[in-house]
Amino acid sequence: MSALIVQGRARLGGRVDVGGNKNAALPVLAACLLTGEWCEIDNLPRIRDVDVMLQLLRQLGADVVDEGGPRVRVRCGEVRTSVPDPVLVGRLRGSVLLMGPLLARTGRVVLAPPGGDFPTRRTISTHLQALAALGARTQPSVDGHVLEAPDGLRATSMYLEEASVTGTETALLAAAAAAGVTEIRHAACEPHVAELCRFLRALGAEVEGEGTFTLRVHGAPRLRGAAHRLDGDYIEAGTWAVVGAITHSQVEVAGARAIDLEPIVAVLRRMGVACDVSDGCLSVRPSRLVAVRSITTGLWPGFPSDLVSLVTALATQADGRTLVHDWMYELRLFALEQMSGMNADLFLCDSHRLIVTGPRTLRGKTLDSRDIRSGMALVAAALAAEGESRIEPLETIERGYAHLVDRLAALGAHVHVAH
């Protein structure tokens, strides 16, 4: 395991280009299993989670042409097994997205418990509900999930009890291969769900209603290959904007769509961050940060939970008191309690609400990156702090942020890796 060493209080500056949307890359790669023809995916983020998904595709039988750049080609002419490698599955929450395509191709899937951030607190009940509605039968198992659909998947009408992003994507992936018309109500509306809809359409499935709470999928008996370029990652863009704002620096972040950035920019501006979006670039300038009454996560187009950790770090440098409320997840806020040891003024109301009072002079400390987003928030706090911080393991953060150390150094941060 590696650690990121950060010497704080450096003034940053320059431009960062974000890669493709991580949360779109995983379901789009999983969708490549639905066809035996070549698919080409461009603007792929070269992060650890994507590399694990590519390893899983190879293990299942796919030919993967990957030269380490932003473009890969995938063809799964024959599925060799319906059992994804349990070790790899245990490293990737997104491995759950393989269930629908494997049921469609083989009529069976045996999936070990998916890993990723806080795996014991994140269930896949919505995914199983969707697959059951499409005709899959769950078999008893003590080591994960065994599902069978020997007669194939069948179109249906379903209501998702939770507007889960990956649950909606699981339903879409399975419905694309089910003959007939499937209607999915209470679907997630996030941009990466809409992007999967567009890719499935390119494969030959007719999908209506992208970006709304109701999706209609006309399944195709045989799907074709397709080429697709991923949209820029708006969560990564928001992350780099916070890095610029918390260090009172001038930073330009390019590559994300302006419409996807709107919920993020709205909150940053309320906090006093001087920022503009034009020509595909989010520009952040040195600002006097101010507290806001509350920041609450929400279903799209609400403020994304993936950025709540970052704005919490930013609030430590804002004048006044801010209530941060993440009703979707618990443990991210617990992870951020580590900033108290950096001299942050934090009051944890409960597992979903945190009061931040600022501005406070943060001090460097050894920190534990327990998940991707709170780990990156601790990096942002370390950049603003006096003295040296050590954040470990670095590998956790690199699951979601490619070339992190090089990009920080390119902006002028004083960082290095310790082993």
Tell me the two tokens of residue 168: 């909606």
pLDDT tier, 185 (very low <50, low <70, confident <90, very high otherwise): very high
Comparing 3-19+232-418 with 22-229, is the CATH topology the same?
yes
Tell me the two tokens of residue 136: 């899959």
Q: What is the pLDDT of residues 234-269, one digit of tens each?
A: 999 999 999 999 999 999 999 999 999 999 999 999
* Phi, psi at 292, each rounded to 5°: -125, 160
Other beta carbons within 10 angstroms of residue 18's beta carbon come to: 25
Percent above pLDDT 90 for the chain: 91
pLDDT of residue 117: 55
Fold of 3-19+232-418: UDP-n-acetylglucosamine1-carboxyvinyl-transferase; Chain (3.65.10)
- Where in the chain are the domains? 3-19+232-418, 22-229
Name the pairing type of β-strands 294-296 and 274-278: unpaired
* Residue carrying the six token digits 């697959």: 131
Name the catalytic one among 17, 49, 51, 117: 117
Tell me the two tokens of residue 385: 């702090």
Tell me the two tokens of residue 76: 């799964």
What value does the mean pLDDT take over residues 3-12?
A: 97
Q: Residue 240's closest CA among 231, 230, 249, 229?
A: 249
Phi/psi zone of residue 272: left (φ > 0), alpha (ψ -120 to 50 degrees), beta? left
pLDDT of residue 140: 79
Q: Which CATH number fits domain 22-229: 3.65.10.10, 3.40.640.10, 3.40.50.620, 2.60.200.20?
A: 3.65.10.10
pLDDT tier, 145 (very low <50, low <70, confident <90, very high otherwise): very high
Instruction: Provide the Cα torsion 154, 159, 162, 164; round to 10°.
Output: 40
| 345 in active site | no
Burial of 376 (0-12, 13-18, 19+ CB in 10 A): buried
pLDDT tier, 378 (very low <50, low <70, confident <90, very high otherwise): very high
Tell me the pTM: 0.94
pLDDT of residue 120: 41
Q: What is the pLDDT of residues 103-136, one digit of tens each?
A: 999 999 999 999 865 444 568 999 999 999 999 9
pLDDT of residue 119: 40
Q: What is the pLDDT of residues 298-343, one digit of tens each?
A: 999 999 999 999 999 999 999 999 999 998 877 667 778 899 999 9
